[in-house]
Amino acid sequence: MAKPNRAAMIKDEAKKSILLLPAVILLVCFFIVPIILTVYYSFTNMALTGSAAQNFQFVGINNYIKVFKDPNTWTAIKNTLVFLIGSLAGQSVLGFIIAYLMKNKAKAFRSVVGPCILVGWVMPEIVVSLAMLAFFDMSGTMNTILTAAHLPAVEWIYAHPMMTVVIANIWHGTAFSMMNFQSALDNVSGDIEEAARVDGATRMQTLIRIIVPCIKDTIATNTMLNTLSTLGVFGLIWALTGGGPGTKTTTLSIYMYNAGMKNFQLGQGTAIGMVLLMVGAVCSVVYTKVVKSEEA
Protein backbone atom coordinates (compact mmCIF):
# COMPACT_ATOMS: atom_id res chain seq x y z
CA MET A 1 0.00 0.00 0.00
CA ALA A 2 1.32 3.41 -0.89
CA LYS A 3 2.08 5.67 2.03
CA PRO A 4 -0.51 8.46 2.04
CA ASN A 5 1.09 11.87 2.15
CA ARG A 6 0.45 14.26 5.03
CA ALA A 7 -1.56 16.81 3.09
CA ALA A 8 -3.89 14.14 1.77
CA MET A 9 -4.36 12.78 5.26
CA ILE A 10 -5.28 16.19 6.68
CA LYS A 11 -7.66 16.72 3.80
CA ASP A 12 -9.24 13.36 4.44
CA GLU A 13 -9.67 14.10 8.17
CA ALA A 14 -11.14 17.52 7.45
CA LYS A 15 -13.68 15.94 5.12
CA LYS A 16 -14.62 13.37 7.71
CA SER A 17 -14.95 16.08 10.37
CA ILE A 18 -17.50 18.23 8.56
CA LEU A 19 -20.39 16.84 10.59
CA LEU A 20 -18.63 17.97 13.75
CA LEU A 21 -18.68 21.56 12.58
CA PRO A 22 -22.07 22.76 13.95
CA ALA A 23 -21.22 21.35 17.38
CA VAL A 24 -17.76 22.88 17.36
CA ILE A 25 -19.07 26.30 16.29
CA LEU A 26 -21.70 26.34 19.05
CA LEU A 27 -19.23 25.16 21.65
CA VAL A 28 -16.62 27.72 20.64
CA CYS A 29 -19.09 30.64 20.64
CA PHE A 30 -21.01 29.88 23.80
CA PHE A 31 -18.70 27.68 25.83
CA ILE A 32 -15.07 28.40 25.04
CA VAL A 33 -15.32 32.13 24.31
CA PRO A 34 -17.06 32.77 27.68
CA ILE A 35 -14.25 30.90 29.43
CA ILE A 36 -11.64 33.00 27.61
CA LEU A 37 -13.62 36.16 28.42
CA THR A 38 -13.72 35.16 32.09
CA VAL A 39 -9.94 35.01 32.16
CA TYR A 40 -9.65 38.24 30.17
CA TYR A 41 -12.21 40.33 32.11
CA SER A 42 -10.77 39.26 35.43
CA PHE A 43 -7.63 41.29 34.61
CA THR A 44 -9.51 44.48 33.70
CA ASN A 45 -11.38 47.15 35.64
CA MET A 46 -14.40 46.84 33.39
CA ALA A 47 -17.84 47.67 34.75
CA LEU A 48 -20.94 45.95 33.51
CA THR A 49 -22.57 49.12 32.17
CA GLY A 50 -21.91 52.85 32.05
CA SER A 51 -18.77 54.71 30.92
CA ALA A 52 -16.42 52.25 32.60
CA ALA A 53 -17.93 49.58 30.36
CA GLN A 54 -16.27 51.12 27.29
CA ASN A 55 -13.14 52.72 28.74
CA PHE A 56 -11.48 49.98 30.61
CA GLN A 57 -7.88 49.17 31.31
CA PHE A 58 -5.77 46.24 32.24
CA VAL A 59 -5.22 46.26 35.94
CA GLY A 60 -3.06 43.17 36.25
CA ILE A 61 -3.93 41.08 39.28
CA ASN A 62 -5.59 44.01 41.08
CA ASN A 63 -9.01 42.35 41.00
CA TYR A 64 -7.58 39.26 42.61
CA ILE A 65 -5.78 41.33 45.27
CA LYS A 66 -8.98 43.25 45.96
CA VAL A 67 -11.06 40.09 46.08
CA PHE A 68 -8.71 38.20 48.37
CA LYS A 69 -8.27 41.19 50.71
CA ASP A 70 -12.02 41.43 51.16
CA PRO A 71 -13.10 39.54 54.30
CA ASN A 72 -16.40 38.76 52.56
CA THR A 73 -14.49 36.58 50.11
CA TRP A 74 -13.13 34.47 52.91
CA THR A 75 -16.61 34.20 54.40
CA ALA A 76 -17.85 33.02 51.00
CA ILE A 77 -15.01 30.48 50.71
CA LYS A 78 -15.70 29.22 54.22
CA ASN A 79 -19.44 28.97 53.45
CA THR A 80 -18.72 27.15 50.20
CA LEU A 81 -16.54 24.63 52.03
CA VAL A 82 -19.14 24.03 54.73
CA PHE A 83 -21.88 23.68 52.11
CA LEU A 84 -19.68 21.38 50.01
CA ILE A 85 -18.49 19.11 52.82
CA GLY A 86 -21.95 18.93 54.41
CA SER A 87 -23.59 18.10 51.09
CA LEU A 88 -20.93 15.60 50.04
CA ALA A 89 -20.95 13.79 53.36
CA GLY A 90 -24.74 13.69 53.50
CA GLN A 91 -25.36 12.70 49.89
CA SER A 92 -22.58 10.10 49.64
CA VAL A 93 -23.04 8.45 53.02
CA LEU A 94 -26.82 8.40 52.83
CA GLY A 95 -26.73 7.36 49.16
CA PHE A 96 -24.35 4.51 49.96
CA ILE A 97 -26.30 3.33 53.00
CA ILE A 98 -29.53 3.23 51.00
CA ALA A 99 -27.89 1.42 48.06
CA TYR A 100 -26.14 -1.05 50.36
CA LEU A 101 -29.22 -1.85 52.42
CA MET A 102 -31.42 -2.11 49.31
CA LYS A 103 -29.24 -4.85 47.85
CA ASN A 104 -30.97 -8.25 47.83
CA LYS A 105 -34.20 -6.87 49.28
CA ALA A 106 -37.64 -7.80 48.02
CA LYS A 107 -38.33 -6.28 44.63
CA ALA A 108 -41.69 -4.84 45.66
CA PHE A 109 -40.05 -3.09 48.62
CA ARG A 110 -37.27 -1.69 46.43
CA SER A 111 -39.77 -0.34 43.93
CA VAL A 112 -41.48 1.66 46.70
CA VAL A 113 -38.40 2.96 48.54
CA GLY A 114 -36.50 3.84 45.34
CA PRO A 115 -39.01 6.38 44.00
CA CYS A 116 -39.36 7.96 47.49
CA ILE A 117 -35.66 8.85 47.37
CA LEU A 118 -35.72 9.73 43.66
CA VAL A 119 -38.56 12.22 43.93
CA GLY A 120 -36.34 14.86 45.59
CA TRP A 121 -33.83 14.43 42.77
CA VAL A 122 -36.32 14.61 39.92
CA MET A 123 -37.89 17.86 41.21
CA PRO A 124 -36.67 21.09 39.58
CA GLU A 125 -34.46 23.01 42.01
CA ILE A 126 -36.91 25.87 42.51
CA VAL A 127 -39.59 23.40 43.61
CA VAL A 128 -37.03 21.87 45.98
CA SER A 129 -36.46 25.34 47.46
CA LEU A 130 -40.17 25.97 47.89
CA ALA A 131 -40.80 22.56 49.49
CA MET A 132 -37.89 23.14 51.88
CA LEU A 133 -38.96 26.70 52.64
CA ALA A 134 -42.35 25.39 53.77
CA PHE A 135 -40.81 22.37 55.51
CA PHE A 136 -38.55 24.53 57.68
CA ASP A 137 -41.04 27.35 58.18
CA MET A 138 -41.90 28.42 61.74
CA SER A 139 -45.27 26.69 61.37
CA GLY A 140 -43.99 24.14 58.86
CA THR A 141 -43.74 20.36 58.86
CA MET A 142 -40.48 20.11 60.82
CA ASN A 143 -41.78 22.24 63.69
CA THR A 144 -45.13 20.46 63.65
CA ILE A 145 -43.24 17.22 64.28
CA LEU A 146 -41.10 18.80 67.00
CA THR A 147 -44.15 20.25 68.75
CA ALA A 148 -45.91 16.89 68.58
CA ALA A 149 -42.86 15.41 70.32
CA HIS A 150 -43.09 18.17 72.97
CA LEU A 151 -39.92 19.85 71.75
CA PRO A 152 -39.59 23.59 71.21
CA ALA A 153 -40.08 24.88 67.65
CA VAL A 154 -37.02 26.35 65.95
CA GLU A 155 -36.77 29.17 63.44
CA TRP A 156 -34.66 27.02 61.13
CA ILE A 157 -34.06 29.42 58.29
CA TYR A 158 -32.87 32.20 60.59
CA ALA A 159 -31.23 30.20 63.35
CA HIS A 160 -29.58 27.52 61.20
CA PRO A 161 -29.56 28.80 57.61
CA MET A 162 -26.51 26.81 56.47
CA MET A 163 -27.92 23.60 57.86
CA THR A 164 -31.19 24.29 56.04
CA VAL A 165 -29.55 24.72 52.64
CA VAL A 166 -27.30 21.70 53.21
CA ILE A 167 -30.33 19.55 54.04
CA ALA A 168 -32.14 20.90 50.97
CA ASN A 169 -29.17 19.92 48.81
CA ILE A 170 -28.93 16.49 50.43
CA TRP A 171 -32.62 15.91 49.75
CA HIS A 172 -32.09 16.95 46.14
CA GLY A 173 -28.83 15.05 45.52
CA THR A 174 -28.87 11.79 47.49
CA ALA A 175 -30.65 9.82 44.76
CA PHE A 176 -27.80 10.47 42.31
CA SER A 177 -25.26 8.91 44.70
CA MET A 178 -27.68 6.12 45.49
CA MET A 179 -27.99 5.18 41.79
CA ASN A 180 -24.23 5.33 41.28
CA PHE A 181 -23.61 3.06 44.25
CA GLN A 182 -26.44 0.72 43.29
CA SER A 183 -24.94 -0.04 39.91
CA ALA A 184 -21.46 -0.33 41.41
CA LEU A 185 -22.66 -2.74 44.10
CA ASP A 186 -24.48 -4.83 41.52
CA ASN A 187 -21.13 -5.37 39.82
CA VAL A 188 -19.38 -6.59 42.98
CA SER A 189 -19.17 -10.35 42.54
CA GLY A 190 -21.27 -12.25 45.04
CA ASP A 191 -18.58 -14.98 45.09
CA ILE A 192 -16.01 -12.75 46.76
CA GLU A 193 -18.48 -11.75 49.44
CA GLU A 194 -19.47 -15.38 49.91
CA ALA A 195 -15.81 -16.42 50.20
CA ALA A 196 -15.16 -13.74 52.81
CA ARG A 197 -18.20 -14.87 54.77
CA VAL A 198 -17.08 -18.51 54.67
CA ASP A 199 -13.69 -17.42 56.00
CA GLY A 200 -15.53 -15.96 58.99
CA ALA A 201 -15.54 -12.26 58.11
CA THR A 202 -18.26 -10.21 59.77
CA ARG A 203 -20.62 -8.05 57.73
CA MET A 204 -18.64 -4.94 58.71
CA GLN A 205 -15.30 -6.52 57.72
CA THR A 206 -16.69 -7.62 54.36
CA LEU A 207 -17.99 -4.12 53.76
CA ILE A 208 -14.72 -2.34 54.57
CA ARG A 209 -12.18 -4.89 53.28
CA ILE A 210 -14.00 -6.25 50.23
CA ILE A 211 -16.83 -4.03 49.02
CA VAL A 212 -15.31 -0.57 49.50
CA PRO A 213 -12.06 -1.43 47.64
CA CYS A 214 -14.13 -2.93 44.81
CA ILE A 215 -16.13 0.25 44.28
CA LYS A 216 -13.37 2.79 44.91
CA ASP A 217 -13.55 4.13 41.34
CA THR A 218 -17.26 4.80 41.77
CA ILE A 219 -16.58 6.52 45.08
CA ALA A 220 -14.04 8.75 43.31
CA THR A 221 -16.24 9.67 40.31
CA ASN A 222 -19.29 10.14 42.52
CA THR A 223 -17.36 12.45 44.85
CA MET A 224 -16.01 14.50 41.94
CA LEU A 225 -19.40 14.83 40.21
CA ASN A 226 -21.08 15.80 43.48
CA THR A 227 -18.34 18.34 44.20
CA LEU A 228 -18.77 19.87 40.75
CA SER A 229 -22.55 20.07 40.93
CA THR A 230 -22.44 21.42 44.50
CA LEU A 231 -19.98 24.15 43.50
CA GLY A 232 -22.43 25.12 40.76
CA VAL A 233 -25.48 25.32 43.05
CA PHE A 234 -27.08 28.73 42.74
CA GLY A 235 -30.87 28.64 42.39
CA LEU A 236 -31.44 26.32 45.34
CA ILE A 237 -29.72 28.68 47.81
CA TRP A 238 -30.85 31.84 46.04
CA ALA A 239 -34.52 30.91 46.28
CA LEU A 240 -34.24 29.50 49.80
CA THR A 241 -32.23 32.14 51.67
CA GLY A 242 -30.92 34.57 49.02
CA GLY A 243 -27.47 34.03 50.55
CA GLY A 244 -28.60 35.33 53.93
CA PRO A 245 -29.43 36.07 56.59
CA GLY A 246 -26.56 38.53 56.23
CA THR A 247 -23.88 36.53 54.46
CA LYS A 248 -24.47 33.27 56.31
CA THR A 249 -25.28 31.21 53.23
CA THR A 250 -23.41 33.28 50.64
CA THR A 251 -21.38 30.70 48.75
CA LEU A 252 -18.93 31.62 45.98
CA SER A 253 -21.56 31.38 43.24
CA ILE A 254 -23.94 33.73 45.15
CA TYR A 255 -21.03 36.03 46.02
CA MET A 256 -19.98 36.14 42.36
CA TYR A 257 -23.52 36.99 41.27
CA ASN A 258 -23.74 39.80 43.82
CA ALA A 259 -20.37 41.27 42.84
CA GLY A 260 -20.85 41.03 39.10
CA MET A 261 -24.55 41.49 38.56
CA LYS A 262 -25.78 43.48 41.54
CA ASN A 263 -22.79 45.75 42.16
CA PHE A 264 -21.84 45.81 38.46
CA GLN A 265 -18.16 45.09 39.21
CA LEU A 266 -17.49 42.87 36.24
CA GLY A 267 -13.76 42.55 36.96
CA GLN A 268 -14.26 41.41 40.52
CA GLY A 269 -17.23 39.22 39.64
CA THR A 270 -15.19 37.39 37.02
CA ALA A 271 -12.18 37.11 39.35
CA ILE A 272 -14.45 35.23 41.77
CA GLY A 273 -15.78 33.24 38.81
CA MET A 274 -12.18 32.31 37.96
CA VAL A 275 -11.69 30.87 41.44
CA LEU A 276 -14.78 28.71 40.93
CA LEU A 277 -13.67 27.78 37.43
CA MET A 278 -10.17 26.75 38.55
CA VAL A 279 -11.49 24.58 41.38
CA GLY A 280 -14.02 23.14 38.94
CA ALA A 281 -11.34 22.49 36.32
CA VAL A 282 -9.14 20.61 38.79
CA CYS A 283 -12.05 18.40 39.93
CA SER A 284 -13.07 17.89 36.32
CA VAL A 285 -9.56 16.76 35.34
CA VAL A 286 -9.52 14.29 38.23
CA TYR A 287 -12.93 13.02 37.12
CA THR A 288 -11.80 12.64 33.49
CA LYS A 289 -8.67 10.77 34.66
CA VAL A 290 -10.71 8.32 36.71
CA VAL A 291 -13.09 7.65 33.81
CA LYS A 292 -10.07 7.21 31.52
CA SER A 293 -8.49 4.65 33.84
CA GLU A 294 -11.80 2.78 34.06
CA GLU A 295 -12.01 2.57 30.27
CA ALA A 296 -8.41 1.45 29.82
> Could you say which residues in the range 250-289 bind other proteins, by CB under 8 A?
253, 256-257, 260-261, 266, 269-270, 273-274, 276-277, 280-281, 283-285, 287-288
Count the site residues for other proteins by CB under 8 A: 90
For the CB of residue 228, give the shortest distance to other proteins in the complex, in Å.
5
Residue 27 binds other proteins, judged by CB under 8 A? yes
Closer by beta carbon to other proteins, 203 or else 216: 203
Q: Annotate the chain with three-state secondary structure.
A: CCCCCHHHHHHHHHHHCHHHHHHHHHHHHHHHHHHHHHHHHCCECCCCCCHHHHCCCECCCHHHHHHHHCHHHHHHHHHHHHHHHHHHHHHHHHHHHHHHHHCCCCHHHHHHHHHHHHHHHHCCHHHHHHHHHHHCCCCCHHHHHHHHCCCCCCCHHHHCHHHHHHHHHHHHHHHHHHHHHHHHHHHCCHHHHHHHHHCCCCHHHHHHHHHHHHCHHHHHHHHHHHHHHHHCCCHHHHHHCCCCCCCCCCCHHHHHHHHHHHCCCHHHHHHHHHHHHHHHHHHHHHHHHHHHHHHC
- Identify the residue among 81, 101, 151, 208 touching other proteins (CB under 8 A): 101
Taking phi over 0 as left and psi of -120 to 50 as alpha, with beta for the rest, 12 belongs to: alpha
For the CB of residue 245, give the shortest distance to other proteins in the complex, in Å.
13
Nearest-angstrom CA–CA distance, 106 and 182: 15
Residue 247 binds other proteins, judged by CB under 8 A? no
Nearest-angstrom CA–CA distance, 194 and 186: 14
Nearest-angstrom CA–CA distance, 289 and 283: 10
- Identify the residue among 59, 66, 137, 162 touching other proteins (CB under 8 A): 137
Upper half-sphere CA count for residue 133 (Cβ side, 13 Å): 13
- Identify the residue among 141, 183, 189, 205 touching other proteins (CB under 8 A): 141
Show contacts with other proteins in window 184-243 (CB under 8 A): 203, 224-225, 228-229, 231-232, 234-235, 238-239, 242
- Identify the residue among 52, 59, 82, 133 touching other proteins (CB under 8 A): 133
- Identify the residue among 4, 124, 190, 213 touching other proteins (CB under 8 A): 124
For the CB of residue 13, give the shortest distance to other proteins in the complex, in Å.
6
Residue 59 binds other proteins, judged by CB under 8 A? no
42-50, 59-67, 156-164, 208-216 -> range binding other proteins (CB under 8 A): 42-50
For the CB of residue 60, give the shortest distance to other proteins in the complex, in Å.
18
For the CB of residue 138, give the shortest distance to other proteins in the complex, in Å.
8
- Identify the residue among 120, 161, 173, 243 touching other proteins (CB under 8 A): 120
- Identify the residue among 144, 189, 263, 293 touching other proteins (CB under 8 A): 144
- Identify the residue among 31, 69, 150, 152 touching other proteins (CB under 8 A): 31
- Identify the residue among 2, 23, 204, 296 touching other proteins (CB under 8 A): 23
